[in-house]
Each structure stands twice: as structure tokens, then as C-alpha cells.
């Protein structure tokens, strides 16, 4: 038979925070649900009745009441979970982002814009960061940076002598009259 579990008395600031969380529309849903569990239990309801009212299992209600009794409001937050550690340290990700936001010309590289392949080569060879192209794309996307194709036909030509090198237009092209504005 399970032991009798009761909610401890709430301090005034805990009571205000639980009331605020139960009405919140911006707090995470899990936190609001846990606050509702504590609020219902505070009113003296039995834990199975609280579970029915909130729409969760009795086991979950017991867990959150126990955690709240032990740690207070901090006990309602998600606990750290186990899992694989990050592959790249935050300073390595910062270096990647700094490189991607810097113009290659400023780094003395012979091209005017980054591609994922160029960025991968630069990070692998110059910075000594063994990182794959697909992982670079994931990191940039997670940081909200959007990769785009460079439009080579827009804007000024990089070669100032382009018009002379191009040569005259085809004989089939009709001449346009120049207008004075």
C-alpha cells in the first residue's frame, strides 16, 4: 500500500507564484500543468482526484508533489537529462559563426563569398576544426542564418575591364537610342 503523501504548507511567495503560473499563457505548458497539480493539491484534494482534474496519471501527481515538497518551486522545473554531450564546444561554434559572417576578402582568401564547401575547407585547413559540411549547415540553420546562392549576374562586375573584354554586341542586336533625362 502506498504511503500517504501530502503537500507541505506553501510560503506566501510560493502561493503567489503557483497562482500566477496556473493562469499563465506564456509559461511552458509542462510548468503550467505542474503548477495546476500543486494548486489542486493545496486545496486539499486527494491525489487521485487531482490526477483526474488535471488529466494526468496519479504517478505523475505523486512525483511532482514529492519534488515540490523537497525543492519548492525549483522542483517543478525540468531536471537535466542524460544524453550525448555536444560534439562541438561553444567556442568552436562561435569560431564557425564568426568565420561565416566575415567576408573571405578580409581573411585574405581569393574569393568574394562563402559557400559551404569553401567554409568547410577553411575551417578544416586553416582553423584546424574537423567539421563536416552537413554539420556546418545544421549549425548555421540552428543559429537562424540562412544560406543563399550567390547571384553572379546582379550588380557590378568584379572585373573593371569587362566591357572591353566582352567585345561588341552581336550584329543582330538593335541599337538603342540614348535619351537625355
Q: Which range of residues forms the domain containing residue 101?
A: 90-149
Q: 131 in a domain, yes or no? A: yes
**How confident is the model over 118-160, as pLDDT tens digits?**
999 999 999 999 999 999 999 998 888 876 655 555 555 566 7
Query: Which whole-number Å values give the CA distances from 40 to 24, 26, 47, 103, in the listed order?
Result: 16, 20, 9, 58
* Structural domain includes residue 154: no
In a domain, 156, yes or no: no
Would you say residue 113 lies in a domain? yes
Q: Does 54 lie in the same domain as 23?
A: yes
pTM (predicted TM-score): 0.49
Q: Looking at the domain assignment, is residue 168 inside a domain?
A: no
> Do 133 and 94 belong together in one domain?
yes
| CA–CA dist 101, 32 (Å, integer) | 39
Kindly state whether residue 17 falls inside one of the protein's structural domains.
Answer: yes
- Domain count of the chain? 2
Amino acid at each position: 500500500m502506498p504511503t500517504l503523501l501530502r503537500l507541505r504548507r506553501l510560503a506566501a511567495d510560493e502561493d503567489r507564484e503557483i497562482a500566477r503560473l496556473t493562469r499563465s499563457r506564456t509559461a511552458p505548458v509542462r510548468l503550467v500543468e505542474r503548477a495546476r497539480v500543486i494548486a489542486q493539491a493545496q486545496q486539499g484534494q486527494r491525489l487521485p482526484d487531482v490526477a483526474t482534474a488535471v488529466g494526468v496519471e496519479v504517478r505523475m501527481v505523486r512525483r511532482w508533489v514529492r519534488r515540490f515538497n523537497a525543492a519548492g518551486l525549483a522542483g517543478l522545473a525540468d531536471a537535466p537529462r542524460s544524453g550525448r554531450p555536444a560534439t562541438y564546444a561553444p567556442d568552436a561554434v562561435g569560431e564557425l559563426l564568426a568565420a561565416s559572417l566575415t567576408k573571405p576578402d578580409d581573411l585574405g582568401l581569393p574569393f568574394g563569398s562563402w559557400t559551404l564547401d569553401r567554409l568547410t575547407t577553411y575551417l578544416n585547413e586553416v582553423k584546424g576544426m574537423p567539421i563536416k559540411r552537413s554539420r556546418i549547415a545544421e549549425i548555421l540553420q540552428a543559429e537562424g542564418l540562412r544560406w543563399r546562392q550567390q547571384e553572379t549576374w546582379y550588380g557590378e562586375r568584379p572585373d573593371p575591364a569587362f566591357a572591353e573584354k566582352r567585345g561588341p554586341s552581336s550584329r543582330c542586336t538593335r541599337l538603342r537610342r540614348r535619351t537625355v533625362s
